[in-house]
A and B are shown apart, each in its own frame.
Chain A
Amino acid sequence: MAKSFDRRRLLTGAALGAAGVVTGSAFGSFAPEAALAAEPTPGIDPGMPDPNFAEGLIRSISDDTISALGSDGTLWRVRVTSGTSVWKLKPTTFDNVAVGDGMYARGAVLDDGTIAADSVWANIVNLKAHVTSIGEQKLYLDHNDERVIAHVIPGTTAAVYNGTPAISDVSMVKVDSHVQVLGAWLPGTNEIEISTIYAAA
């Protein structure tokens, strides 16, 4: 905890910087293009799978490595480090990822076929659905004739109405309207938790 606090203080200070500082001229160039766009990402032929992307159901987790079975039968090994961003309904930490979760990962393929993940998303879903009913902190959705129960998580769920900036008030979603929901699937159920809901109001 203390370490995390120190780290945040370091980063906070760095971001806000000293008053009046506009660019980091102390380290040479003030134009970061050269360093930022260091190497262009090699293009991928149309229709070919992205070699740096993995997807599957998590079968086991040992230390920092996820084993996942892809939907096409591929077995993936994904290595997660402290520098990997982990998303499960919201930005979170690796210990919240569990066996049985659906996993999407992006990173760099190592020589042994393992993917060193930059980012991992667990259970992420993106549904376009119809709101058939609204209950206590949940929406009943019709998604391609399948019933999906979408839970509103106060403090996490955000709503975007007509493309305006997200707010925490979900109550403007109407029964019998179309919505798009970005959320996290609850494995083994037809339920999801809503991260962001896009609706008309």
Chain B
Amino acid sequence: MQAPLVGVVLLWSASVKLFTRRGRLRSQTTALSKLLGEQRAALAYRGLGGIEALLGLALLTPPLWWPKPAAVIVMAIGFAGYLTYARIHAPESSCGCMSATHVPISWRGYSRAGWLLAAGILGLFANQFWFTALTGEPVVLAAVMVGEAVLFIALSPEFDGAWLVPLRRLRVAVTDPLGGDNDSIPLDATVTRLHHSDLYRHVAPALRTDVHEHWDEDEYRFITYGAEYDGSKATAVFAVPLRSDAPEPIRVALVNEETGETLIQLDHAPEEAETPEWALSRGSTPAGSTVG
């Protein structure tokens, strides 16, 4: 009774290998190209498709003949062996089994080969051509076929987009496992805003560390960095308004923590026009890179 299902699966698999325009390209991402070399992979890929097509057609048509399920068994063992080879020697490749999607090799691939194997073995014991059997006991056999088809689809990553992903999305929609907005403003938001400010770009050449410390106070988030000013260590402390639409500007101070004195304090980056001539002509640094 497995014959029609296996036949359809093989025909579908063959059509992907034989008739998709990208078949040749596809073959090179599968483990075949590692096994046989890139030149021969395409030929082997198509050849395999041809064998699958012939076997699929043979299974769908009479007469009942034992070499047909035997060939399915051989193929199933071959697939499992190929999966094992690929997993060991080309773990990054796609199994190239039955569709054009990239599918990593996993237990599902093996289960599917096992399914094929079981179908082949059962096929050996068949004593009636499937169409005859189906007309004899339509309800029971149709139910068995549907059950097996469901199992096959469940084992095939190629179909995940049709049922597994929507199911998972539905579960997420119903249970909301990640919770919602907890009203806090992530540090990342403040730091990104700071990085985009002219003031930060102006001061950045003096900064030596990543974010050292941060705390919130009075609608401001304070972020400190280790800095160097005139050859000695200093702390750069930025005050960034928490609300992004706040009218207050971002401010910065460079503080020498040992003496407690404020070395410099700014609430905006100086415009280029404000940069004195002596600062521009000093050294080879172009004004643009330091003034930002």
**Interface of A toward B, CB cutoff 8 Å:** 7-8, 10-12, 14-17, 21-24, 27, 29-38, 40, 83-85, 87, 90-91, 118-119, 121, 133-138, 142, 144-145, 152, 154-158, 160, 165-171, 173-176, 195-196
Chain B CB within 10 Å, residue with most, of A14, A38, A166, A171:
A14
Q: Which residues from chain A contact B65 at a C-beta distance below 8 Å?
A: none
Residue of A10, A24, A144, A176 touching B264 (CB-CB under 8 A): A24
Q: Which residues of B contact A (CB under 8 A)?
A: 91-92, 104, 161, 165, 168-169, 172, 176-189, 192-193, 202-203, 205-206, 208-215, 217, 220, 222, 224-226, 228-231, 233, 235, 237-239, 244, 251-255, 257, 260, 262-268, 270, 274-276, 279, 282-283, 285, 290-291
B269 to chain A, nearest CB (A): 10
Q: Which residue of B lies closest to A108 (CB)?
A: B208
Interface contacts beyond A16-B251, A170-B179: sample of 19 additional A-B pairs, CB < 8 Å, sorted by A: A10-B255, A14-B265, A15-B251, A15-B252, A15-B265, A33-B275, A33-B279, A37-B283, A38-B231, A40-B283, A40-B285, A83-B209, A85-B212, A119-B210, A134-B178, A138-B177, A160-B192, A168-B184, A173-B178
Residue of A nearest to B260 (CB): A10
Residue in A91, A145, A154, A169 whose beta carbon sits within 8 Å of that of B214 in the complex = A91
Assembled-state Cα–Cα distance A131/B152 (Å)? 24
Which residues of chain B have C-beta atoms less than 8 A from A135's C-beta? 177
In the bound complex, do residue B189 and residue A167 qualify as a contact, i.e. CB atoms below 8 Å apart? yes
Residue among B177, B185, B225, B276 facing the most chain A CB atoms (10 A cut-off):
B177
| Given A27-B263, A32-B206, A37-B205: A15 and B253 interface contact (C-beta under 8 Å) | yes
The one of B205, B211, B238 that contacts A15, using a Cβ cutoff of 8 Å: B238
Return chain A residues, CB-CB under 8 Å to B202. 32, 36
A11 contacts B253, CB within 8 Å? yes
B176 to A: closest C-beta gap in Å: 6
Contacts of A32 in B (CB 8 A): 202-203, 206, 229, 254, 264, 266
With known contacts A14-B237, A166-B189, A30–B270 Cβ distance under 8 A: yes
Which residues of chain A come closer than 8 Å to B187, judged between CB atoms? 90-91, 158
- CB pair B253–A17 under 8 Å, yes or no, is yes
| Contact in complex: B224, A171 (CB < 8 Å) | no
Cβ–Cβ contact A38 & B252, under 8 A: no
Cα–Cα, bound, A35→B233 (Å): 12
Q: A16-B220, A176-B161 are in contact. Are A167 and B255 (CB under 8 A)?
A: no
* CB-defined A-B contacts under 8 Å, sample of 6: A21-B265, A145-B91, A154-B179, A168-B186, A176-B165, A196-B186
A118 in contact with B291 (CB, 8 Å): no
What residues of chain A lie closer than 8 Å to B205, measured between beta carbons? Answer: 36-37
Which residue of chain A has its CB nearest to the CB of B184?
A168
A85 CA to B187 CA, complexed, in Å? 15
How far does the Cβ of A44 sit from chain B's closest Cβ, in whole Å? Answer: 17
- Contact between chains at B188 and A158 (CB < 8 Å): yes
- Residues in B whose Cβ lies below 8 Å from that of A37: 205-206, 283, 285, 290
Bound Cα distance from A170 to B239, whole angstroms: 27
Contact B233 A165 (CB under 8 A): no
Instruction: Select B178's contact among A8, A16, A33, A170, beta carbons within 8 Å.
Output: A170
> Is B181 a contact partner of A83 (Cβ separation < 8 A)?
no
A134 touches B177 (CB 8 A): yes
Q: Determine the residue in chain B with the shortest Cβ distance to A160.
A: B188
Q: Are A35 and B209 in contact (CB under 8 A)?
A: no
A27 and B264 contact, CB distance less than 8 A? yes
Query: Cβ of A118: which chain B residues have Cβ within 8 Å of it?
Result: 208-209, 226
Tell me how far the C-beta of B49 lies from the nearest C-beta in chain A, rounded to whole angstroms. Answer: 25
Contact B266 A165 (CB under 8 A): no
Q: Are A23 and B285 in contact (CB under 8 A)?
A: no
Residues of B within 8 A of A157 (CB): 186
Taking a contact as CB atoms under 8 Å apart, the answer to whether A15 and B239 are in contact is: yes
Tell me the complex Cα distance, A77–B46, Å: 57
Q: How far is the CA of A133 from the CA of B166 in the complex (A)?
A: 11
Q: Determine if A85 and B178 form an interchain contact, defined as CB atoms under 8 angstroms apart.
A: no
Q: Are A17 and B211 in contact (CB under 8 A)?
A: no
Report the bound CA distance from A90 to B229 in whole Å: 26
Question: Residue A84 contacts which of B104, B226, B266 (CB distance < 8 angstroms)?
Answer: B226
Top 5 A-B residue pairs of the complex, sorted by shortest distance between their CB atoms: A158-B186, A169-B181, A14-B253, A145-B104, A85-B209
A168 touches B279 (CB 8 A): no
B169 touches A175 (CB 8 A): yes
Chain B residues near A24 (CB-CB < 8 A): 253, 262-266
**B209: A residues at CB distance < 8 A:** 83-85, 118-119
